[in-house]
Amino acid sequence: MERGIALLSGGIDSPVAIHLMQNRLEIIAAHFHQLPLTDEKELEKVKELVKKLGIRKVYLVPFALVLKELVEKCPHKNYYILSKIMMMKTAEMIAAQEDATYLITGENLAQVSSQTLSNLTSITKNVSLEIFRPVLTYDKQEIIDLAKKIGTYEISKGPEICCLLGPKSPATRSDVEEIRKELENIEVVRLMNESLEKAEVINS
């Protein structure tokens, strides 16, 4: 069976996306955490989701320094777009290590600012691997209903911490080339390598 690297947040959408792909791909999860800006509860939540979903391998990647770099060196309005690209590019490095061919996300069209059609295009065109977005066209209630059915909803519900460093008025439209140029303002490869070197890898 082919492999995919799934970006697993602590939210409702990504566990459902993983569930929908589990019969089609062998899935390895990657969670990008913000310790020490957050506390250990973030990781406990993710570990519980991994167990509930039956995922056998997960990378817990420290990403606070990468996100701080984006805040300091890039236009703040594009924070969510740029941070998602950096997570996906790091997930591509994991994919290379794990002989995986695809990325999987819980992105849902127009649910939040970074997931407008324009911004999803900017994200996709700045990433090399094929991206599966199985809940892309679901409405929120459909996702919640499925999360309850598979037993992840009670674990996932509650405040998300992904907006910790985010702007109050994020961009809802973006230009692919402009985003690419903004990424050139930061040392992408160094930051990703440093984060991966510090990642905790859990096998079950």
Residue range 17-75, pLDDT digits in tens? 999 999 999 999 999 998 877 778 889 999 999 999 999 999 999 999 999 999 999 98
Per-residue pLDDT of 104-148, as tens digits, reads: 999 998 766 678 999 999 999 999 999 999 999 999 899 999 999
pLDDT at 182 over 70: yes
Q: 13, 8, 27: which is closest to 137 by C-alpha?
A: 13
Beta-carbon contacts of 96 under 8 Å, excluding residues fewer than 6 positions away, are none
In the chain, domain spans? 3-203
pLDDT at 103 over 90: yes
CA distances from 3 to 20, 122, 134, 197 (A): 14, 24, 15, 22
The pLDDT, as a whole number, for residue 18 is: 98
- Please tell me which residue, 186 or 38, carries the higher pLDDT value: 186
The pLDDT, as a whole number, for residue 162 is: 58
The pLDDT, as a whole number, for residue 25 is: 96
The pLDDT, as a whole number, for residue 204 is: 82
Per-residue pLDDT of 148-179, as tens digits, reads: 999 999 999 876 655 666 777 788 889 999 99
- Please tell me which residue, 5 or 109, carries the higher pLDDT value: 5
pLDDT band at 197 (very low <50, low <70, confident <90, very high): very high
4-16: average pLDDT: 95
pLDDT at 77 over 80: yes
Q: 47, 5, 14, 4: which is closest to 160 by C-alpha?
A: 14
> Which one is the CATH code of 3-203: 2.60.40.10, 1.20.120.1200, 3.30.950.10, 3.40.50.620?
3.40.50.620
Name the pTM for this structure.
Answer: 0.93
The pLDDT, as a whole number, for residue 161 is: 59
CA distances from 47 to 67, 191, 201 (A): 22, 24, 11
The pLDDT, as a whole number, for residue 57 is: 98
The pLDDT, as a whole number, for residue 164 is: 64
